[in-house]
Amino acid sequence: MLDINRILQNPEVLLDTLQKRGFDSKDIESKISEVSSRQRKLKLESEELRAERNKVSKEIGILKAKGEDISSISQSMKSVGDRIKAIEDELASYEESLHDINIGLPNLLDDSVPFGKDEKDNVLVKTFGEKNSFTFPVKPHFEIGEAMGIFDFERGVKLSGARFYTYSGLAAKLERALMNLMLDTHTTENGYREMWVPVLVNDESMTATGQLPKFAEDFYRLEKDGLNLIPTAEVPLTNYYRDEIIADKDLPISMCAHTSCFRREAGSYGKDTRGLVRVHQFQKVELVKFCRPEDSQTEHEKMLSDAESILQKLNLHYRVMLLCSQDMSAASSKTYDIEVWMPGLGRYMEISSVSNFKDYQARRGKIRYKSKEGKNLLIHTLNGSGLAIGRTLAAVIENYQTEDGTFAIPDVLKSYIR
């Protein structure tokens, strides 16, 4: 959610963001203008009526003291009271209307975000390493894994349906090894506190991080229980402090968690139908930060570096892209994507998104901190993948593949394989 007072005072800020994000700004602008205009008129009328009531109340006191008849004035004041109550009810309705509009608005864009319509307009920030050279025809990870008998997509479909899979043997061990490498690195080197969180959350949690109400079709819901399967651990980790006030001395707070994640992948039919790139259930280590507003840009860059550190340990070539205005999530103010090179697929694949939400999620979730001056202020939230484990496994298999149809184990993972 946005600061509605800021939007009303500077509507051009919102309009600029909506246009850059490709939203229909005219309809939203007219709705906000209409509601806020009516609000202002009602508030002015209410203030005038209250002032009149206060004035007449003093007069009634004087008349009563003199023993004079006040019945006609009292009846008049009852009408004023009824009108004030009606205005309050109407104002509450308009407040709700503004809230409904506001909760559907995207976050304001950071000034550094480039304007663009799709991934072609994203900006290259940096690269690490070089693409591997192979002396033999390379294969995609799913062909290697199936030939080795460590991936079984057919049984995944039998058990659950399309875009599900099973691992066995070396693949299962490597998934666990990657998880442990990520958690160990983030907790012992990058300063994160490891958490264990539910994978089922309520609607309030999904609303605070921005999945509801607009993106209900993108995740799985248990209607009978009023719970939702998390699309990422960002949801329970960010909501950990929902409706709370954090002490300034505790900031910044850095948390990480490994969870299963669940996504419908709505709108992705026909894309990456084979392999581990686009599936309904996957494992991920998520990074979340809470910090003071003045520190969020620095913490964003640090989180990006933290996510990169895993790929650097695995010696995998990747690039970092700054996402353009229409290739970002609606909740993010600024996002970097880390894209790892996949020689078997012949393209880069997003393996982590690192986003700064500024106070957008904090306003929705009422997450604040008490400043050194004693004021309760909205905090800034950030999150990023550290990393998507299945995609990392796929990247390892493709980049470390050998001519005999198998693949080597990266040195950093060997101590985790038992």
Q: Which residues are annotated as a binding site for ATP?
A: 263-265, 279-282, 350-353
What single letter denotes the amino acid at residue 151?
F
Other CB atoms within a 10 A radius of the CB of residue 163 amount to 23
**Of 211, 179, 168, 171, residue with least CA distance to 365:** 211
How many angstroms separate the Cα of 168 from the Cα of each of 44, 191, 279?
70, 33, 17
What single letter denotes the amino acid at residue 399?
N
Cα–Cα distance measured from residue 292 to residue 208, given in angstroms and rounded to the nearest whole number: 18
DSSP assignment of 210-256 equals T-TTTTGGGS-EETTTTEEE-SSTHHHHHGGGTT-EEEGGG-SEEEE
Which of 69-105 are b and which e, b meaning 16 or more Cβ less than 10 Å from the residue's Cβ? Answer: ebeeeeeebeeeeeebeebeeeeeebeebbeebbbeb
Please name the residues in contact with 219: beta carbons below 8 A apart, sequence gap of 6 or more: 206, 211, 228, 229, 230, 231, 262, 263, 264
How many angstroms separate the Cα of 113 from the Cα of each of 20, 44, 68, 316, 324?
10, 40, 71, 27, 6
- Paired residues of 376 in beta bridges: 370
Residues annotated within a binding site: 232-234, 263-265, 279-282, 286, 350-353, 383, 385
Give 410's DSSP letter: P
> What sign for the dihedral angle of Cα 406, 410, 414, 418?
negative
Which of 281-305 are b and which e, b meaning 16 or more Cβ less than 10 Å from the residue's Cβ? Answer: bbbbbbbbbbbbeeebbebbebbbe
Residues annotated within a binding site for L-serine: 232-234, 263, 286, 383, 385
- Taking the mean position of all CA atoms in its chain, how far away is CA 163? 24
Please name the residues in contact with 137: beta carbons below 8 A apart, sequence gap of 6 or more: none
Which own/partner contact pairs does 26-30 have at CB distance under 8 Å and 24+ positions apart?
28/101, 28/105
Answer for the pair 209, 236: CB distance below 8 angstroms, yes or no.
Answer: no
Question: Residue 403, SS3?
Answer: coil
